[in-house]
Amino acid sequence: MITPFPTLRWIIFVALICCCVILPVRADEGMWLFDVPPTTQVKEKYGFELTPEWLQHVQQSSIRFGRRGSASFVSSQGLIMTNHHVGARNLHELSTPENNLLENGFYAKTFDDELPCSGLEILVPVSSEDVTEKVNAGATPEMSAEEAQKVRNAVIATLEKEASDKTKLRYEVTTLYQGGAYRLYGYKIYNDIRLVWAPEQTIAAFGGDPDNYEYPRYCVDCSLFRAYENGKPAKIEHFLKWSTGGVKDGELVFVSGFPGRTERSYTREHLEFQRNIYFPWRLRKLYRREVIYSAFGNRSLENQRRIADDLGGVQNYRKRAIGQLQGLQTPSLWKNIPQTKPAKNSPEEKIQNALQFAQNHYMGYDCIELGEFFNSQTFKIARMLVRLAYETEKPNSERLKEYRDGNLESLKQTLFADTPIYEDVEILKLTDSLTMLNEILNEILYGKEDKFLYFIDRDLSPKEYATELILHSKVRDVTERKRIAEGGIQAVKYSNDPMIQLALRLEPVAKKFREDYENNVEAPMTAAYAELAKKRFEKLGTSVYPDAAFTLRLSYGAVKGYKEDDGTDVVPITTIAGMFDRAEKQKFKEPFDPPKSWKDGKTKLNPNTPFNLVTTNDIIGGNSGSPLINTKGEVAGLVFDGNIYSLSNNFIYTETQSRCVSVHADVIVEALRKIYGADRIADELGK
């Protein structure tokens, strides 16, 4: 959808509100750079001094877990803590037909039992350098935006290469403040990572989808891995010690991790677009899909298995979208954004104009170019085959972005992946989206349908058409896909595969939608946001934090309950007793049935052990697996979720109800010792 280009207006206003109006002191907002930390804020509000040593220690104990999330070192022997859901892919890959590690959990009794995770690498940020001046040195005001960017890109490539040549680290230049600043980050890479311990999925994700984004919670969403070097456990200088005496209500805590992406810079008009058009439309699609998928799943266990991934995805997105829309529909969040009309020719006005166009074209772009009318793997493959044939005939620079040389490799990997595709699921999804096509076209083009529908077969019902397209298309066979890809334009053009024919007929319409949208929405918005960002950075510099960009950030906050809208008080820390209580009230029905190990071991557990907790830290997707750290720099918990109110964090942070949800450090050790007999690990954690 529309690319986000953060500006800072929001932050300023929010800071103003928080300082002057709602709260006696500033809210715990911000995903701060480690080299521009919120020292003053923390000192003022909590009386704690963020020292350079503290910061360096925490920074170098932090880990980026592949491209999936965050993690941290928790022992001198390379022990790594992250979320169970972040490491789930490895558990899946390490499972055998006899032993499903997601179901059964895993514990390596000795170093030798630790299981190597192939393909997994972790990145430890060991250095950062402000290279803004260097990057900008060659770009002159006379250059066009495009030329200037080329010059900068060249410098970036050189900086990364030079730095890498000197050391064994991996270097990446990251753009911050939409080009206001550049940082050269050096990462130490570990790529021999082994699985040490994981609990059963049923306790890692206790409460499943129903409790997702809710609170109170009871999840041991934790897995432990270990970094090896030269076949031996890595010797680690900077790691987080385990906390003593837990963490208490009101206590100051930090989160160090890799938040993925925020959009706190959206203009008022852009937020209105999100509220009025983007999210309602997104939810319309998600609602119908969730119903269709779950009705299909309910018909049989085999159906359930086939649709599980699709359904889980839809449910998660639906919950997030509802939370975000709920945030955007909260008038108190809008009151303090000035209603002034954007000035003539201002970036705000350019954004407004682009959105005016988007209003009437976004749905068509989404349905036709992004393929929402043809929701199926079969269509996606057919579309890719068609474009691959035509695009690769063109000079590289004239191709659609995803078909340029640099991207072709990964595109082909997707295209030729041999993942199972079920005919019945494909027919189900396509039938529903073709039904939606009929509805929408009728809805938005009432009375003048015929003009727009020449690209689809109008003599069949959605179900008949979907069935024909899916059953008669052969592109679900990888060999056939490869044959067509090799045959180029000829193979596509003369194919009698009905889905390829559909994709082909659709091309002129789809490309027109894309061109219009890119030219009238994306390009002007990108330019306008860059302009806005530049102005603001000139004014405010690094006195504020930049939007999240999957680089290491520090957020501060406190353990703190909140009030639900109906006035119910939510206490910040849950206990083991609370988990068993919830299970019992649900009669131990899935997903409220803890694993056998916990039910059998119940009497051994201290029922008062803290389980999960909420804090006011400002986090977002990507922070999953981040350590929750106390002022001593120790592990107080493990971030794994936000509550429903935190879902609008991508637009705006509010402290009133938005909370970060963590596994409490104590429950991890309690479980390791008493349920999993993992004393060697608990000892290693120093507990």
Token pair recorded at residue 291: 């119903």
Residue 66, Cα to own-chain centre: how many angstroms? 13
Q: How far is the CB of 574 from a copy of itself (least distance, A)?
A: 15
Q: From CA 358, how far away is CA 277, in angstroms rounded?
A: 9
| Cβ proximity to a copy of itself, 212 vs 623, nearer residue | 212
Q: Spell out, one character per residue from 462 to 501, where the chain touches a copy of itself: x when CB under 8 A holds, - when not.
A: xxx--x---x------------------------------
Asked if 666 contacts 619 with a C-beta cutoff of 8 angstroms, the reply is no
**Exposure pattern of 486-504 as b/e (b: 16+ CB <10 Å)?**
eeeeebbeebebbbbbbbb
Q: How far is the CB of 333 from a copy of itself (least distance, A)?
A: 9
Q: Is 300 in the site for a copy of itself (CB under 8 A)?
A: yes
- The identity of residue 47, as a single letter, is G
Which one of 149, 276, 346, 392 is in contact with a copy of itself (CB under 8 A)?
A: 276
Q: From CA 33, how far away is CA 39, in angstroms rounded?
A: 11
Q: Is 446 in the site for a copy of itself (CB under 8 A)?
A: yes
Q: Is 301 in the site for a copy of itself (CB under 8 A)?
A: yes
Provide, for the chain, the percentages of residues in helix, strand and coil under a 3-state DSSP scheme, each rounded to the nearest 5.
50, 15, 35
Q: How far is the CB of 353 from a copy of itself (least distance, A)?
A: 14
Window 185-224: residues binding a copy of itself (CB under 8 A): 209-211, 214
Q: Is 287 in the site for a copy of itself (CB under 8 A)?
A: yes
Q: What are phi and psi of 563, to 5 degrees?
A: -105, 135
In a 10 Å sphere around its CB, with 0-12 CB exposed, 13-18 middle and 19+ buried, how is residue 624 labelled?
buried
Q: Is 104 in the site for a copy of itself (CB under 8 A)?
A: no
The C-alpha angle 650, 654, 657, rounded to 5 degrees, equals 110
* Window of 109-117, 180-188, 230-238, 295-303 that interacts with a copy of itself by CB under 8 A: 295-303
- The identity of residue 302, as a single letter, is E
| Cβ proximity to a copy of itself, 48 vs 317, nearer residue | 317
Length of the chain (residues)? 687
| DSSP summary character for residue 403 | G
Q: Is 330 in the site for a copy of itself (CB under 8 A)?
A: yes
Q: Spell out, one character per residue from 33 to 62, where the chain touches a copy of itself: x when CB under 8 A holds, - when not.
A: ------------------------------
Q: Is 451 in the site for a copy of itself (CB under 8 A)?
A: no
Alpha-carbon dihedral sign for residues 422, 423, 428, 432 = positive
Q: Is 329 in the site for a copy of itself (CB under 8 A)?
A: yes
- According to DSSP, the residues that pair with 547 across neighbouring strands are none
| Cβ proximity to a copy of itself, 207 vs 627, nearer residue | 207
H or E stretch covering 69: strand 69-73
* Window of 145-153, 172-180, 269-277, 660-668 that interacts with a copy of itself by CB under 8 A: 269-277
Strands (E), 150-238: 170-176, 181-190, 192-198, 223-229, 232-233
Coil/strand/helix, residue 416: coil
Q: Spell out, one character per residue from 407 to 426, where the chain touches a copy of itself: x when CB under 8 A holds, - when not.
A: ----------------xx--
Q: Is 359 in the site for a copy of itself (CB under 8 A)?
A: yes
Which one of 36, 460, 509, 527 is in contact with a copy of itself (CB under 8 A)?
A: 460
| Cβ proximity to a copy of itself, 300 vs 608, nearer residue | 300
Residue closest to 637 by CA, chosen among 191, 321, 248 = 248
Token pair recorded at residue 420: 């199972």
SS3 per-residue string spanning 578-612: HHHHHHHHCCCCCCCCCCHHHHHHHHHCCCCCEEE
Q: Spell out, one character per residue from 62 to 101, where the chain touches a copy of itself: x when CB under 8 A holds, - when not.
A: ----------------------------------------
| Cβ proximity to a copy of itself, 63 vs 475, nearer residue | 475
Q: Is 21 in the site for a copy of itself (CB under 8 A)?
A: no
* Window of 61-69, 284-292, 504-512, 633-641 that interacts with a copy of itself by CB under 8 A: 284-292
| Cβ proximity to a copy of itself, 208 vs 601, nearer residue | 208
Q: From CA 287, how far away is CA 309, in angstroms rounded?
A: 16
Q: Is 458 in the site for a copy of itself (CB under 8 A)?
A: yes
| Cβ proximity to a copy of itself, 4 vs 207, nearer residue | 207
* Window of 163-171, 282-290, 497-505, 593-601 that interacts with a copy of itself by CB under 8 A: 282-290
| Cβ proximity to a copy of itself, 202 vs 630, nearer residue | 202
| Cβ proximity to a copy of itself, 330 vs 346, nearer residue | 330
Residues 6+ apart with CB under 8 A from 449: 441, 442
Q: From CA 675, how far away is CA 471, in angstroms rounded?
A: 50
| DSSP summary character for residue 530 | H
Residue with tokens 């991996």: 170
| Cβ proximity to a copy of itself, 249 vs 439, nearer residue | 439
Q: Spell out, one character per residue from 551 to 590, where the chain touches a copy of itself: x when CB under 8 A holds, - when not.
A: --------------xxx-----------------xxx-x-
Residue with tokens 């900077």: 238
Q: To the nearest 10°, the Cα dihedral for 567, 573, 576, 577?
A: -40
Q: From CA 253, how far away is CA 678, in angstroms rounded?
A: 27
Q: Is 168 in the site for a copy of itself (CB under 8 A)?
A: no
| Cβ proximity to a copy of itself, 184 vs 307, nearer residue | 307
Q: Is 302 in the site for a copy of itself (CB under 8 A)?
A: yes
Residue with tokens 């939810």: 283
Count residues binding a copy of itself (CB under 8 A).
Answer: 57
Which one of 244, 442, 479, 606 is in contact with a copy of itself (CB under 8 A)?
A: 442
Q: From CA 74, how far away is CA 255, in angstroms rounded?
A: 15
SS3 per-residue string spanning 213-245: CCCCCCCCCCEEEEEEECCEECCCCCCCCECCC
Q: How far is the CB of 315 from a copy of itself (least distance, A)?
A: 8
Question: What totals of helices (H) and strands (E) does the chain contain, helices first?
Answer: 24, 21
Q: How far is the CB of 568 from a copy of itself (least distance, A)?
A: 10
Which one of 461, 490, 519, 606 is in contact with a copy of itself (CB under 8 A)?
A: 461
Residue with tokens 């350019």: 350
| Cβ proximity to a copy of itself, 175 vs 276, nearer residue | 276
| DSSP summary character for residue 638 | E
Q: How far is the CB of 653 from a copy of itself (least distance, A)?
A: 17
Q: Is 406 in the site for a copy of itself (CB under 8 A)?
A: no
Binding site for a copy of itself (CB under 8 A): 209-211, 214, 275-277, 280, 283-284, 286-288, 290-291, 294-295, 298-302, 315, 318-319, 325-326, 329-332, 359, 423-424, 427, 435, 438-439, 442-443, 446, 458-464, 467, 471, 565-567, 585-587, 589
